[in-house]
Structure 1
Amino acid sequence: MIVVRLGPKITETVKGKLSLGAKILQVGGLEKIFKQLFAVKEEEKLLKACQCYLSTTAGPIAGLLFISTDKVAFCSERSLKFYSSKGELIRVHYKVLIPLSKIKRVNQSVNMKKQSEKYIEVYTVDGFDFWFMGFLNYQKAFKYLQQAISQSCTDDVQVTY
């Protein structure tokens, strides 16, 4: 059994999940959220949206991963707080957008010490790598990512298992 937590306590996890569910309902569904957060082409279709974490140097960030016919995009569930150079508090969502045409390689990875921890590594042609983890349904997320890449025009992308 895989346990995914959004906070240090189970009550915070439940609150986070309920809050996200309420936001999705308020906006009118995941597809509308995707269109609000990211520039979406007219012919672009959302294939899958799933909750996961993005690994960063500051630690994992909980959010939604969107897989479309044109891109892989991530947006944090909660806004991050920063202070501007003028000392003003600024709240922004952490976003990542990777056009499928910029993906060089996608790998599945498993923590050898803890087999339940599975990762999807996305490497871009310009040398960046992104690690997504903590999926509620890892296999389904990877399947849709494979599908998006295979349907895109990028024939030279490597997908490893």
Structure 2
Amino acid sequence: MIPMMNVGTMNPVVITEIPTLEKYLQIVTTDGHDFWFMGFVNFEKASHHVLDSVSNFRAVGTNEVQPVLA
């Protein structure tokens, strides 16, 4: 699990050079760790929800209990 306050960037990555289209979500934390997620049933929906969650968390900027990205 990654605490939302530690998420630095989130990049949806689509590799089209390989005959089988590969899609990943790359998450880089503020302390420099790099995470790659793959195997989504619906990549577009998953990337949308993760981006939306990170954006909402940053917009609120709360000091309450920090949610995590699992």
Q: What range is the shorter-chain TM-score in?
A: 0.7 to 0.9
Correspondence for 1:109 among 13, 16, 36: 13
TM alignment of 1:1-161, pairs within 5 A: 97-114=1-18, 116-153=21-58
Deviations 1:82-131 (A, max 9, x none): xxxxxxxxxxxxxxx11111000011112232362101000000000100
Q: CA-atom RMSD, angstroms?
A: 1.8
| Identity in percent | 36
Higher Cα radius of gyration: 1
Deviations 1:30-64 (A, max 9, x none): xxxxxxxxxxxxxxxxxxxxxxxxxxxxxxxxxxx
Structure 1 counterpart SS, 2:31: coil
Q: TM-score, normalised by structure 1?
A: 0.34
Structure 2 regions of 5+ residues with no counterpart?
Answer: 61-70
2:63 aligned residue: none
Q: TM-score, normalised by structure 2?
A: 0.74
Distance across 2 between alignment mates of 1:127 and 1:108: 18
Distance across 2 between alignment mates of 1:136 and 1:116: 14
Structure 1 regions of 5+ residues with no counterpart?
Answer: 1-96, 156-161
User: Partner letter of residue 104 of structure 1?
Assistant: G
Count of residue pairs the alignment pairs up = 59
Question: Higher relative contact order at CA 8 Å, sep ≥6: structure 1 or structure 2?
Answer: 2
Distance across 1 between alignment mates of 2:51 and 2:27: 11
